[in-house]
Amino acid sequence: MKKRTFLAGIATGFALQPARAFEPLEDTRPLLNGRIYSGPQITQMLLHKDRRKLYLLHEEEVLKSYRVRLGFNPSGHKLEQGDGRTPEGLYHIDRRNYKSSFYLSLGISYPNSRDIARSRLAGVSPGGDIFIHGGPRSAKEGRKRDWTAGCISLRNDDMREVFWMTELGTPIFITV
């Protein structure tokens, strides 16, 4: 994988949106496998939908990559609530959920102003609550290649790493 792929996405003109309000929980140092995470800061994330891969980067260096599952209808950009698509574009991590129905989760700042305008033009609601989260709740869901409502799903062990390595405000570029 070319390490500069993510930077090319930023050059296409996407703008970061302000983080949504969230209630901060007590300040807890991130534990990763029982140890405090002290590795390089994750400065950006890249999700390749076609490859089903999430990359964590420090500047231009890929530090880790993970296999993912997407929405049940993953082709194309998310347009409306319930379409099963995973959005495409530049977003950022805007919240943490320690009590997710799917193990742990990180919120993605979808919809942005561009998404809202596109959906409004089509006369539909853009939906929301797009997350990176842990695995399925049931074995039946787990057998499907893509099963979420538009979110990005990882194995629980992988989600624990991503959750503790990623800070709020980290940009994520989601591309085909």
Q: Is the pLDDT of residue 121 over 50?
A: yes
In the chain, DSSP finds a helix count (H) and a strand count (E) of 4, 10
Percent of all residues in the chain with a pLDDT value above 70, rounded to a whole number: 74
pLDDT, one tens digit per residue, over 88-107 is 999 999 999 988 888 899 99
Query: For the chain, which residues make up each domain, given as ranges?
Result: 69-167
pTM: 0.78
What average pLDDT score do residues 109-130 get? 94
What 3-state class would DSSP assign to 123? Answer: coil
d(CA 78, CA 81): 8
